[in-house]
């Protein structure tokens, strides 16, 4: 019989302590830069979606059109600054002479900041969680186009923060019923039936295929409320 191994703090484990402590200052620096720059930009709408979409993709074209319409209402557009849907969002904002913001991060499958992000509105992050805070804190709404794990992560974190009242409610719009319909059906028929979400939790988001409806949802919401940063309670 093999001896059961017991785990404890090793010398290599201890060596990581100093690195962890100093990383706190790097994290603080990213928060300060992000808060300062994004506060100066003003109210924005975040657009999420796949980095793999091409210019020929219908959702790329719809994201670009939606972004242009958003900026025509006076909002800036925030994306992750990469290719695909992110590029489409920045492209649409730039085409409409609006504010085009990119929150970049080094990832193995992305090319870096796309050419349609305004250099004055570019921030690069080392830490995913700091970047995600910036998306949420300074966005007055989320328009979520078809995407992968990263898009789902951003969507469900935002829904969780609103559900648990850690941030104030803002419009969350899923764009593309063909893509998102199965997920919404699963929430209705599986999650609600199992009791893991409440009946009203699906009221936290909208599903649409229309850029015009995106604008209608956002403008209707802010006809009753002043755009403000989303502070954590």
Any idea where the domains of the chain sit in the sequence? 14-222
User: pLDDT: is 21 or 169 the higher one?
Assistant: 169
Question: In terms of CATH architecture, what is 14-222?
Answer: 3-Layer(aba) Sandwich (3.40)
How buried is 98 (Cβ within 10 angstroms: 0-12 exposed, 13-18 middle, 19+ buried)? buried
Task: Give pLDDT tens digits for 61-75.
Answer: 999 999 999 999 999
Token pair recorded at residue 188? 């209705």
User: pLDDT: is 232 or 86 the higher one?
Assistant: 86
Does the pLDDT at position 105 exceed 60?
Answer: yes
Closest CA to 63 of 203, 204, 214: 214
Does the pLDDT at position 229 exceed 80?
Answer: no
The number of residues in the chain equals 233
Can you tell me the distance from the alpha carbon of 169 to that of 164, in angstroms, rounded to the nearest whole number? 10
Q: Which residues touch 72 (CB under 8 Å, ≥6 apart)?
A: 96, 98
- Kindly report the pTM of this predicted structure: 0.88
């Amino acid at each position: 019989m093999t001896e059961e191994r017991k785990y404890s703090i090793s010398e290599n484990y201890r060596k990581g302590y100093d690195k962890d402590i100093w990383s706190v200052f790097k994290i603080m620096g990213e928060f300060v830069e992000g808060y300062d720059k994004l506060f100066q930009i003003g109210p924005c709408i975040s657009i999420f979606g796949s980095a793999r979409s091409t210019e020929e993709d219908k959702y790329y074209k719809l994201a670009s059109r939606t972004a242009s319409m958003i900026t025509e209402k006076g909002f800036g557009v925030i994306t992750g600054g990469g290719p695909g849907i992110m590029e489409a969002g920045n492209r649409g904002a730039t085409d409409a002479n609006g504010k085009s913001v990119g929150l970049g991060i080094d990832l193995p499958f992305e090319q870096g900041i796309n050419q349609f992000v305004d250099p004055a509105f570019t921030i690069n992050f080392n830490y995913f969680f700091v970047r995600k805070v910036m998306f949420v804190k300074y966005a007055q709404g989320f328009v979520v186009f078809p995407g992968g794990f990263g898009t789902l992560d951003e969507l469900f974190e935002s829904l969780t923060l609103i559900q648990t009242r850690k941030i104030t409610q803002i419009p969350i719009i899923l764009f593309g019923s063909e893509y998102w319909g199965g997920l919404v059906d699963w929430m209705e028929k599986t999650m609600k039936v199992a009791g893991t979400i409440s009946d009203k939790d699906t009221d936290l988001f909208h599903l649409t295929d229309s850029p015009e409806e995106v604008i209608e949802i956002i403008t209707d919401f802010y006809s009753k409320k002043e755009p403000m940063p989303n502070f954590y309670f």
